[in-house]
């Protein structure tokens, strides 16, 4: 019979990491990879081979990039050593020795690390660039991205908005049990996106992510974001100001039958009123 101490140890070891729950509820690197290659080939007539993933977190996208094609190489850059170490231990380790040689994880400020030569694609996903609250700071970062791209490179971010993005509210979802990128099972859990503060004067917002796995203590504020909510026209203007030639916006269509978005990202210049939306923005050098 297991002792009390052993039971506690087993319970602790079975606790699901917040990073696993984040990836399951927020990220889909296979969709990102497919979209990146589609827009790059459409604009440049070839496959993209090098990726710079800024604010890379667990760097699972960089790992997916290297795993997807033997010619692909990726750089994941993040200033938080804890999350990078987690990524090395639980994501990078799942690659072959040869694949690992094509993934470079860098603990640094994204405004410091220089890619020489440049890369085909740089991305800043999950609205991570919103960390920069002043236009001057954002422009400095976008200009640095521009300088780290190849001559035919592109920069991809996601953005969000709509009246719902300016509200103090919580969005709760149930996430079904599944298998993570590394092939490990995770249980069903509850996800909550908590917009706890919004200031209309400067678009300063504070948001949290909470998780609840059955049988485990609720992960209150598993992640916290202190951001500025940037509008699409603002982001486009800054990108053009730092040198990008064109900025395309991709948004999902609407499925009348399901009364929901159709999951297909298309380039659009007009979009009907929505309470909340998420887009990809593609800046062409």
Provide the residue-wise pLDDT of the chain in tens; the chain has 285 residues.
Answer: 445 444 444 444 478 999 999 999 999 999 999 999 999 999 999 999 999 999 999 999 999 999 999 999 999 999 999 999 999 999 999 999 999 999 999 999 999 999 999 999 999 999 999 999 999 999 999 999 999 999 999 999 999 999 999 999 999 999 999 999 999 999 999 999 999 999 999 999 999 999 999 999 999 999 999 999 999 999 999 999 999 999 999 998 766 565 566 678 889 888 777 788 899 999 999
Torsion over CA: 158, 164, 167, 168 (sign): negative
What are the strands, taking DSSP E only, across 109-168? Answer: 119-124, 149-161
Question: Which tokens is 247 given?
Answer: 């900025």
Q: 217 phi and psi, to 5 degrees?
A: -65, 140
- HSE (side-chain half, CA atoms, 13 Å) at 157: 22
Buried b (16+ CB within 10 A) or exposed e, 232-248: beebbebbeebebeebb
Taken in order of first residue, the domains within the chain and their CATH numbers are: 18-160+231-284 (3.40.50.150), 163-227 (no CATH)
Residues forming beta bridges with residue 283, ordered by sequence position: 155, 247
User: What is the Cα Rg of the chain in Å?
Assistant: 20
Q: What is the 3-state secondary structure (H, E, C) of 227-244?
A: EECCCHHHHHHHHHHCCC
**CB-count exposure of residue 93 (10 Å: 0-12, 13-18, 19+):** exposed
Contact indicator for 196, 162 with CB cutoff of 8 Å = no
Element holding 277 (H helix, E strand)? strand 277-284
């Amino acid at each position: 019979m297991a002792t009390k101490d052993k039971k506690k140890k087993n319970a602790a070891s079975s606790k699901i990491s917040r990073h696993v729950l984040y990836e399951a509820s927020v990220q889909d690197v296979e969709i990102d990879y497919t979209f990146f290659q589609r827009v790059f080939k459409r604009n440049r007539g070839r496959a993209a081979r090098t990726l710079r993933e800024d604010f890379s977190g667990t760097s699972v996208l960089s790992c997916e990039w290297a795993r997807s094609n033997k010619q692909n190489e990726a750089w994941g850059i993040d200033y938080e050593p804890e999350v990078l170490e987690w990524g090395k231990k639980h994501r990078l380790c799942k690659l072959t020795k040869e694949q690992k040689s094509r993934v470079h994880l860098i603990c640094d400020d994204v405004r410091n690390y220089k890619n020489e030569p440049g890369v085909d694609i740089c991305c800043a996903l999950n609205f991570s660039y919103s960390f920069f609250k002043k236009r001057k700071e954002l422009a400095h970062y976008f200009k640095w991205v521009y300088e780290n791209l190849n001559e035919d490179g592109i920069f991809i971010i996601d953005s969000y908005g709509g009246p719902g993005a300016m509200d103090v509210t919580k969005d709760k979802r149930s996430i079904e049990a599944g298998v993570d990128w590394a092939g490990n099972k995770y249980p069903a859990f509850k996800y909550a996106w908590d917009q706890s503060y919004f200031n209309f004067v400067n678009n300063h917002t504070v948001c949290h992510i909470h998780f609840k796995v059955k049988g485990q203590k609720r992960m209150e504020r598993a992640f916290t974001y202190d951001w500025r909510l940037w509008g699409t026209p603002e982001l486009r203007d800054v990108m053009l100001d730092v040198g990008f030639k064109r900025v395309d916006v991709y948004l999902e269509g609407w499925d009348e039958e399901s009364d929901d978005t159709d999951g297909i990202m298309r380039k659009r210049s007009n979009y009907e009123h929505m309470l909340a939306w998420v887009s990809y923005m593609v800046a062409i050098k």
